[in-house]
Structure 1
Amino acid sequence: MNIHIIGIGLIGGSFALDLKAFYPQSKIVGIDNCKEHLEKAMELGLIDESGELEDVVDSDLVIIAVPVDVGIGLLKKVLDKIGDHTLVIDAGSTKEKICTAVATHLKRRNFLAAHPISGTEFSGPEAAISELYRNKTMIICEVEKTAFKLQEKALEIFRHLGMRIRYMDAKSHDKHIAYVSHLSHISSFMLGKTVLEKERNERDIFDMAGSGFASTVRLAKSSPAMWTPIFQQNRENILETLTEYISNLNQFKSLMEENNFEEVYREMEKTNHIKSILNGIN
């Protein structure tokens, strides 16, 4: 299989590692605007060679793993160049805008809109991890608009990666992901900002921060270059989640001001139910 991965960072590089393991006879070509990323990917053995966008004409599988603002224009260019039997998968965190952008493209049936619910706070080729996707969920949007044989091809790949499959329309995907992913990143960034503004002594932060703080602000180490476009593309849904989140914070603040710690306890006790939902997540 001739595989082209556009964007050799955490997501693209991790795909490369696992695809190389399951399809050892395949040739994996990396495409990236950053020359240093391609050189590092070659050094780490993520890819067999580097290439250009024009090379996708001979590809069996193209995976697009770039920031979502770049992804829309790039997907159109890829669809313009590919052959009739090429499968193109976009792995971005927002889906409605990219699906709308190629809705009438002549090669729309070659495209599978997908979002692997997996990742870390790190970026670049060095962040690539073997089996990053094992036991994780792959959300597939508008599957009915992808050619059936290419659907089968994609599902075979995802099975090899050990992924669970969930189908969803693009609009619902973006709404739900705003709550369970995008809001988490905003909360992490803003908590980190608050602490940096109030705790001027970095040594105090290092010495006094426990594991709870470290895990809560972990996502604040994520790439702003990747997350700003995500927030922009999913702006309306994120604003809705922020309104509800801020309302809950204000309510909690009011309970504290009123010295109503019985209700504070009840609020936290009710929220403890989240443990039973999340216990199965790695």
Structure 2
Amino acid sequence: MKNIYIIGVGLIGGSLAIDIKKNNPDMVIHGISRKDATLETALSLNLIDKKATLDDIENADLVIVSIPVDATVKLLPTVLDKISDNGLVVDAGSTKVDICKVVENHPKRRNFLAMHPIAGTEHSGPNAAIPNLFVGKTNIICEVEKTAFKLQEKALKLFADIGMRMRYMNPVAHDKHIAYMSHLSHISSFMLGKTVIDKEKNERDIFDMAGSGFASTVRLAKSSPEMWTPIFKQNKTNVIETLEEYIINLTHFKELMKQDDFDAIFNEMKDTNYIKDILNGMG
């Protein structure tokens, strides 16, 4: 692979560009964006080597689509239209069902690999790109059997070389699991932030009294609504299901409080402490 084209040079696209270039200095990273200012920033930060347009994709060995999932669904068929028979297109979307479905009958389906690198921060845009974002992170690969073997083999090695481990999953299972593991935590963070803003009218009080626990819990509320609204829309059914279960648990906790049943509350929290063992086991 020589020519890499990245559509959407923000946190994910830009961070991929940094690590791919570090491991493969001879590769040429091309950036594509609706906004020229984004590409100028990416150039100034050395995230990309050159600016490009969609018409240049015919020259690509690899195209990484890293834009909001609704935009991916609209653009992906066009990108596949333009890719050469020897080129590969991958996406980095947080939902997979709609993205896989839109290209399921495309004549160049073999030139597409659906993936979701599970990494990120609450920041967005080219300035948010950082090195080593993907070290030790999981890259979910969907419908790998529909991608030409020689093409997927090169791409998977490229991503493994920057530190990612591959996990294979079908799109339906991916969207269901990610609703619990990622989408629910973002909603919780947004709504905690909203609750505090609504009730604590004095911004100084929020600033002075916010401890590290609040800051870490509400961190995701700084995430981009432009990115997350389409995710919630595409994964609506799964997100609603997770919210219903979450609300049941919150309501149960509230009822225990009303009943002064703090032994039960202690036991609930003690049982939930097991989550640290699960997460530590993944470290």
TM-score by length of 1: 0.99
Structure 1 residue 281: deviation in Å? Answer: 5.4
Aligned residue number for residue 182 of structure 1: 183
Work out the number of aligned pairs and report it: 282
* Structure 2 residue aligned with 1:27: 28
1:92 aligned partner: 93
**1:73 offset after TM fit, Å?**
1.5
Match of 1:5 in 2: 6
Q: Give the Cα separation in 2 of the matches to 1:72 and 1:259.
A: 50
**Separation in 2, partners of 1:61, 1:154:** 8
Helix, strand or coil: the match of 1:279? helix
Matched, 1:169 2:170: yes
SS in structure 1 of the partner of residue 151 of structure 2: helix
Counterpart of 2:216?
215
Deviation at 1:279, TM superposition (A): 1.6
CA distance in 2, matches of 1:193, 1:111: 39
User: Deviations 1:72-118 (Å, cap 9, x if unpaired)?
Assistant: 12110000011001011100000001101100000001100000010
Q: Which runs of 5+ in 1 are unaligned?
A: none
**Given the alignment of the two structures, is residue 263 of structure 1 paired with residue 281 of structure 2, yes or no?**
no
Inter-partner Cα distance in structure 1 for 2:3 and 2:164: 22
SS of residue matched to 2:93: coil
Task: Summarize the alignment of residues 117-128 of structure 1 with structure 2, pairs less than 5 Å apart.
Answer: 117-128=118-129
CA distance in 1, matches of 2:98, 2:172: 9
Measure how far apart 1:249 and its partner are.
0.2
Measure, in 2, the Cα distance between the counterparts of 1:208 and 1:280: 33
Q: CA RMSD in A?
A: 0.8
Q: Deviations over 1:135-180 (max 9, x none)?
A: 1000000100001101111111112111111000000000000000
Is 1:238 matched with 2:239?
Answer: yes
Q: Distance in 2 between matches of 1:264 and 1:111?
A: 49
Per-residue deviation, 1:58: 0.6
Partner of 2:156: 155
Alignment of 1:71-110 (within 5 A): 71-110=72-111
The Cα offsets for residues 207-229 of structure 1, whole Å up to 9 and x where unpaired, read as 10100000000000000000000
Partner of 1:201: 202
Shift of 1:191: 0.1
1:227-261 deviations in Å (ceiling 9; x for gaps): 00000000000000000000000000000001100
% of aligned pairs identical? Answer: 64
Output the TM-score relative to the length of structure 2. Answer: 0.98
Runs of 5+ consecutive residues of structure 2 not aligned to the other structure: none
Distance 2:60 2:135 in 1: 25
1:280 and 1:37, CA in 2 relative to 1: closer, same or farther beyond 3 A?
farther
Q: What's the CA shift for 1:280?
A: 4.7
Alpha-carbon distance between aligned partners in 2 of 1:97 and 1:225, rounded to the nearest angstrom: 18
Q: How many Å separate the matches in 1 of 2:83 and 2:176?
A: 31
